[in-house]
């Protein structure tokens, strides 16, 4: 009898060992292909590495990848499909904030863990945070906070702001104003341009900013809007003698298309993939180049780290199951190409940081100089503030 029980236990343990764990990934691959194709490559590289080493805690991992159509409504349907039909053990992905929030909302309702890899909105882990949702990338607030010390050091009095007119841009501008005014009480914000996403009228905006005669400029523009703004600003000499701070502009996805327009001296957050020479990053970069015959972008690092985070949680939990995964993710440490990061138990935000530095031109290409890594843990508001926001 005892032997039988023993046999049953070993067998079930063995079958548990062999069990494949499914990660359900959904993203707007056809709406933001410039960011998400490298992201997908990063994920696949991580998956191959993990499974080659025997999986996560003995479990083989499988990625089920879906296009979420780029709208919250479609994304919710796709997530339902992953949960109900594919029976995935964990949801991950999403890019735009509204999609990320809608999927987080569904994850909470269906009681499935959701690892939001890309969306930046602060609300995802604060005002609208829920027990099932974790986030990898540094949030809008964190990216702004990384630049504040450098901005405050300049003691510039008159600042102008330009940002895309949607949640990311608005909260970036609001955080920037709040944090800079705290660091430098005499600061004045003399102009503010909230421009339609992807449709900036760069000439008129550049002129309107110049008319306000600012001493310095803060921008949260990216992609198409950034390219238009940089070219107009260069032609009209908006940036001459004016320091500019621009979120995200150092990420290869947004920096590379600027080529010889790259505005030198701008302070940015980003990812100087060529220059970072830590052993962890070198290993990642070499593996990525070998696998894809291409250089890594910021998205590659995010995709790669997201899969390693999921694998880490599964290994720590000893399997799937929402409650076990949540317990495992809280405080989970993950070795990623930049540093060792942890998922905060407090608000489920990872401490992944970003590089800040200044833009420069090298051989007609944009690059970052004077850069340094800023740890995500060092740019958080006090815990009490976070708890109040999460209404816990």
Partner 1 sequence: MSASAVLLQFLNGLAGASSLFLLASGLSLIFGVTRVVNFAHGSLYMLGMYLAVFLAPRIGFWPALPVTALALAFVGAAAELVVLRRLRHAPELLQLLATFALVLLARDFALWTWGPEDMLGPRPPGLSGAFEVGNGRFPEYDAFLCLLGPSVFVALTLVLRRTRWGVLVRAATEDREMTGALGVNERWLFTGVFAVGAALAGLGGATAIPREPASLGVDLAAIADAFVVVVVGGLGSIPGAFLAALVVGEVKAFCIALGLERLVLGVEFIVMAIVLVGRPWGLLGRPPARAVPRRMDDAGFALDGRERLLASVAAALLLLAPLVASEYSMVLLTEIAVLALFAASLHLLLGPGGMVSFGHAAYFGIGAYAAGILLLKEGWPAWAALAAAPAASFAAAMIAGALCARLSDVYLAMLTLALAQIAWSIAYQWDSLTGGSNGLIGLWPKGALADVHAYYSAALALAGGAILFIWRAVGSPFGFALRASRDSQARAETVGIDVRATQWIAFSAAGLFAGLAGGLYAFSKGSISPESLDVTRSVDGLVMVLLGGVQSLLGPPVGAALLTWLQDMLAREVPYWRAAIGATVLALVLLLPQGVAGLVGRRPQ
Q: Which residues are near partner 1 by CB under 8 A?
A: 30, 33-34, 37, 66-67, 69, 71-74, 76-78, 80-81, 84-85, 97-98, 101-102, 104-106, 109, 121, 123, 128, 165-167, 170, 191-196, 198-199, 201-205, 207-208, 210-211, 223-224, 227-228, 231-232, 235-237, 256-259, 261
- Which residue, 59 or 123, has its beta carbon nearer to partner 1? 123
Contact between 39 and 302 under an 8 Å Cβ cutoff? The reply is: yes
Beta strands 333-335 and 340-342 are antiparallel
Helix (H, G, I), strand (E, B) or coil at 16: helix
Which residues, at least 6 apart from 246, have a Cβ–Cβ distance to it below 8 Å? 218, 219, 220, 221, 226, 266, 267, 268
- Which residue, 322 or 332, has its beta carbon nearer to partner 1? 322
Q: Output the smallest distance, CB 130 to partner 1, in A.
A: 9
Q: How far is CA 249 from the centre of its chain?
A: 13
- Compute the half-sphere exposure of residue 54: CA atoms within 13 Å on the CB side of its CA: 4
The rounded distance, in Å, linking the Cα atoms of 97 and 118 is 9
- Which residue, 37 or 311, has its beta carbon nearer to partner 1? 37
Q: Output the smallest distance, CB 242 to partner 1, in A.
A: 14
- Which residue, 163 or 338, has its beta carbon nearer to partner 1? 163
Q: Output the smallest distance, CB 359 to partner 1, in A.
A: 16
Q: Output the smallest distance, CB 95 to partner 1, in A.
A: 13
- Which residue, 96 or 317, has its beta carbon nearer to partner 1? 96
Alpha helices in 85-215 (DSSP H): 97-110, 140-153, 167-183, 202-211
Q: Output the smallest distance, CB 59 to partner 1, in A.
A: 24
Helix (H, G, I), strand (E, B) or coil at 10: helix
Which residues, at least 6 apart from 104, have a Cβ–Cβ distance to it below 8 Å? 114, 116, 124, 128, 130, 132, 133
Q: Return the closest-CA partner of residue 359 out of 268, 257, 258, 252.
A: 268
- Which residue, 148 or 162, has its beta carbon nearer to partner 1? 162
Q: Output the smallest distance, CB 223 to partner 1, in A.
A: 6
């Amino acid at each position: 009898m005892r032997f039988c029980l023993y046999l049953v236990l070993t067998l079930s343990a063995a079958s548990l060992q062999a069990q494949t764990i499914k990660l359900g990934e959904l993203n707007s691959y056809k709406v933001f292909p410039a960011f998400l194709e490298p992201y997908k490559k990063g994920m696949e590289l991580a998956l191959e590495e993990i499974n080659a080493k025997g999986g996560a805690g003995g479990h083989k991992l499988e990625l089920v990848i879906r296009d979420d159509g780029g709208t919250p409504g479609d994304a919710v349907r796709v997530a339902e499909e992953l949960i109900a039909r594919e029976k995935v053990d964990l949801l991950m992905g999403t890019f735009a904030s509204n999609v990320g929030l809608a999927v987080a909302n569904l994850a909470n309702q269906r009681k499935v863990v959701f690892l939001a890899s890309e969306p930046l909105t602060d609300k995802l882990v604060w005002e609208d945070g829920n027990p099932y949702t974790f986030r990898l990338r540094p949030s809008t607030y964190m990216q702004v906070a990384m630049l504040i010390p450098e901005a405050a050091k300049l003691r510039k009095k008159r600042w102008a702001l330009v940002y895309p007119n949607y949640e990311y841009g608005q909260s970036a501008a609001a955080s920037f104003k709040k944090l800079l005014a705290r660091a430098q009480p005499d600061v004045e914000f003399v102009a503010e341009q909230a421009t339609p996403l992807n449709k900036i009228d760069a000439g008129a905006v550049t002129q309107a900013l110049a008319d306000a005669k600012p001493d310095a400029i803060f921008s949260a523009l990216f992609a198409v809007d950034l390219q238009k703004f940089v070219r107009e600003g260069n032609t009209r000499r908006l940036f001459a003698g004016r320091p500019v701070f621009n979120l995200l502009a150092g990420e290869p996805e947004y920096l590379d298309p600027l080529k010889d327009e790259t505005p030198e001296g701008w302070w940015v957050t980003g990812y100087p993939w060529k220059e970072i020479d830590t052993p962890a990053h070198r290993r990642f970069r070499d593996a990525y180049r070998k696998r894809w015959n291409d250089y890594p972008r910021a998205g590659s690092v995010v995709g790669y780290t997201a899969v390693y985070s999921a694998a880490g949680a599964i290994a720590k939990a000893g399997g799937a199951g929402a409650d076990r995964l949540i317990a495992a993710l809280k405080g989970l440490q993950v070795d990623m190409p930049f540093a060792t990061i942890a998922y905060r138990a407090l608000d489920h935000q990872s401490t992944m940081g970003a590089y800040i530095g200044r833009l420069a031109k090298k051989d007609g290409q944009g690059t970052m100089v004077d850069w340094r890594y800023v740890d995500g843990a060092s740019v958080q508001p006090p815990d009490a503030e976070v708890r109040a926001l999460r209404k816990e």
